[in-house]
């Protein structure tokens, strides 16, 4: 309170006559208060307008790219792998089994000829330890297959000779396309027979391998 009993009021602005020492008269007519936009560029600035459109566009574009890459990674193809000319492949695997892999990776198969028929035996056994590139190998001595990880042994047609494998090697479908090319369908699988249902085994061509050698022969590829 002042000496004359007046109440001091906080000035509204520097030109308010109640602000001591302003020396200015208020403009005629009512004053209009304008809301401040604050520091920085005005939202009406062309640069701000461009950024308000560009930033969301870049963000959405990044999301589209990530989704496209993720979808491409999930695309496993149709499972069809062309191995090569059917007659040439048959002649090659008639000498000894050869490996072929889907899209150059996994899964892989042993291509062989049994009783005049080309078979595509899975290169991974029924047990988890019998999987991967070295899961089931070919034994040149016996002419059969086996896993060093478990000791399982299979004959030339993939039937169980000795466990612990509970069933024979799975088989992929083999077809010849209209262009006379041998095609392995890695998405069409026939489960190997259980041990109790195994047919007559194919006799070995020689002694069994105590240790299945790692096959360093080149893979069959298109």
CA 37-43-47 angle, to 5 degrees, is 140
Inter-residue contact 122 to 107 (CB < 8 Å): yes
Sequence-ordered list of residues with C-beta below 8 angstroms from that of 164, at least 6 positions apart, any chain: 127, 150, 151, 152
Query: Total domain count for the chain?
Result: 2
**Whole-number Å distance between alpha carbons of 112 and 118:** 6
Query: DSSP per residue over 189-208, as a string?
Result: EEPPPBGGG--PPPPPSSPP
Across 43-52, 155-164, 192-201, least confident range: 43-52
Across 4-13, 60-69, 90-99, 193-202, least confident range: 4-13
70 and 90 fall within a common domain: no
Percent of the chain with pLDDT over 90: 33
In what order do the strands lie in the sheet containing 137-138?
137-138, 145-146, 153-154, 160-162
Taking only the tens place, the pLDDT of each residue in 76-97 is: 567 888 888 999 989 998 889 9
Helices (H), ranges, the chain:
46-74, 86-95
Residue 126 belongs to what domain range? Answer: 80-197
66 and 135 fall within a common domain: no
- pLDDT, residue 75, reads 47
60 and 93 fall within a common domain: no
183 and 85 fall within a common domain: yes
69 and 112 fall within a common domain: no
34 found inside a domain: no
Taking only the tens place, the pLDDT of each residue in 159-168 is: 999 889 999 9
11 found inside a domain: no
**Whole-number Å distance between alpha carbons of 163 and 151:** 7
């Amino acid at each position: 309170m002042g000496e004359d009993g007046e109440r001091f009021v906080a000035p509204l602005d520097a030109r308010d006559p109640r602000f001591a020492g302003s020396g200015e008269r208020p403009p005629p007519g009512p004053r209009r208060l304008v809301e401040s936009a604050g520091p920085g560029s005005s939202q009406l600035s062309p640069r701000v307008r461009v950024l308000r459109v560009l930033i969301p566009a870049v963000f959405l574009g990044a999301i589209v790219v990530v989704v496209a890459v993720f979808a491409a990674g999930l695309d496993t193809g149709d499972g069809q792998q062309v191995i090569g000319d059917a007659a040439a492949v048959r002649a090659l695997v008639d000498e000894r089994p050869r490996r072929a892999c889907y899209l150059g990776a996994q899964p892989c198969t042993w291509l062989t000829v049994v009783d005049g028929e080309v078979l595509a035996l899975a290169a991974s056994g029924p047990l988890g330890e019998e999987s991967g590139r070295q899961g089931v190998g070919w034994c040149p001595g016996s002419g059969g297959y086996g896993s060093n990880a478990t000791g399982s042994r299979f004959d030339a047609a993939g039937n169980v000779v000795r466990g612990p494998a509970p069933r024979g090697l799975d088989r992929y479908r083999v077809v010849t396309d209209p262009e006379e090319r041998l095609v392995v369908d890695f998405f069409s699988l026939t489960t190997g027979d259980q041990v109790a249902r195994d047919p007559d085994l194919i006799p070995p061509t020689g002694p069994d391998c105590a240790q299945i050698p790692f096959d360093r022969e080149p893979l069959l590829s298109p």
